[in-house]
Amino acid sequence: MIAVEIRSGTGRDDPSPAQRAGCRIVIAAPHRPEHVLSRFRDSAEGLSVTAGPANVIMQLSWPGVGYGVMESRVHSGALFRHPIKRTRTTFTYLAVVIFGSDADRASYRAEVDRQHRQVFSDRDTASPVKYHAMDPHLQLWVAMCLYVGFEDTHELLRGRMSDEQKELFYVGSEKLGTTLQVRPGMWPATRAEFETRWIEMCQKILTTDATRGYLRSIVDMDFVSTSPLLGPLRRVQRFLTAGYLAPVFREAMQIEWSARDQRSFDRTLAVLARVERAIPLPLAQLPYRMLVWDLRIRHRLGRSAV
């Protein structure tokens, strides 16, 4: 693991064990007052989507997940073939987990399961690793990555939380995994236990030339277009993605990141935070809620949501 030196006097005091191990980013946002409390569902707001590509890198850094996505037989949900559909289904899952009813989650789980049952390694794939998308351990890793993404963006946009505030925020987050195959007992019972487990699991990340190239194509938005006109947007996307990645993931992706880069990222997120705080939370969460409404309409019309 990577050890990270964090000096005092920089506004980044009291690093967590995961930050010291290099598997969580350091939040430069100011501490929030102790009386300001958040629930997990409060983290689903508009600008949290800016961390999406970084979270994909985190998820696919586990070999079984990475090769499972690259070699998937389910072409109807492949990002490079159907980018709009894939983006919609991914964010619909998050919306259903956070804002959906038990019935919404059950119906969406059934649809996702039909796709996941077709994703497994065999002799035809000649994959260097074995995997099955229905494996609860692989899904646990993906769900934990999603939680880290939500917590990080929430703190960057709304202020750092104390340990006590994080424990309250953590309540209900297990649905990120249990909506699919993660068994309730597999999800860490407390936020403190989550951190310990996260450090252990980050020791298993591994990228190869194949997965690294695939992930860079996602960050560069090659699934949208390879046009040079998108150059400025790609540069912004690369910068934000690198900033949202903890050191162990940057190292796996062979991304260089300097102290100057970190200062620029901190300033950028400070600006985004001011924008986000100016938007009423119900309005900031509207895109997620609209996806739940879209899911329900699709089911009424007998159309697949995945």
Query: With 90 as the cut, is the pLDDT of residue 8 above it?
Result: no
Phi/psi class of residue 150: alpha, beta or left (left: φ > 0; alpha: ψ in -120 to 50)?
A: alpha
Task: Give the pLDDT band of residue 40 (cuts 50, 70, 90).
Answer: very high
State the Cα–Cα distance between residues 160 and 142, nearest whole angstrom. 24
Phi and psi angles of residue 132, each rounded to the nearest 5 degrees, phi first: -150, 125
- pLDDT, average across residues 128-146: 92
**Residues 40/174, Cβ–Cβ less than 8 Å:** no
State which H helix or E strand residue 200 sits in.
helix 191-202
The identity of residue 102, as a single letter, is D
Instruction: Provide the percentage of residues in the chain whose pLDDT is more than 70.
Output: 89
Q: What is the pLDDT of residue 125?
A: 64
Radius of gyration of the chain (CA): 19
**Residues 20/3, Cβ–Cβ less than 8 Å:** yes
Closest CA to 21 of 145, 197, 244, 146: 197
Phi and psi angles of residue 25, each rounded to the nearest 5 degrees, phi first: -75, 160
Task: Give the pLDDT band of residue 131 (cuts 50, 70, 90).
Answer: confident
Per the structure block, which two tokens stand in for 142?
């993906």
- The domain locations on the chain are 45-134+205-300
Q: What is the pLDDT of residue 18?
A: 94
Query: With 80 as the cut, is the pLDDT of residue 229 above it?
Result: no
Give 21-25's long-range contacts (Cβ < 8 A, gap of 24+): 21/199, 21/202, 21/248, 22/246, 22/247, 22/248, 22/251, 23/198, 23/199, 23/202, 23/246, 23/247, 23/248, 23/249, 24/148, 24/152, 24/198, 24/246, 25/152, 25/243, 25/244, 25/245, 25/246
Mean pLDDT for the chain overall: 86
Per the structure block, which two tokens stand in for 66?
């990475």
Distances (CA, A) of 150 to 94, 147, 172, 289, 294: 10, 5, 13, 16, 22
Q: What is the pLDDT of residue 14?
A: 75
Is the pLDDT higher at 150 or at 306?
A: 150
Q: What is the pLDDT of residue 10?
A: 37
Q: What is the pLDDT of residue 3?
A: 36
Q: What is the pLDDT of residue 9?
A: 34
What digits encode the pLDDT tens for the residues 51-107?
988 999 999 999 999 888 888 776 655 555 656 677 788 889 999 999 999 999 999
Q: What is the pLDDT of residue 179?
A: 94
- pLDDT, average across residues 159-175: 95
Q: What is the pLDDT of residue 115?
A: 87
State the Cα–Cα distance between residues 293 and 297, nearest whole angstrom. 6
Per the structure block, which two tokens stand in for 128?
């260097």
Per the structure block, which two tokens stand in for 294?
């879209």
State the Cα–Cα distance between residues 134 and 114, nearest whole angstrom. 10
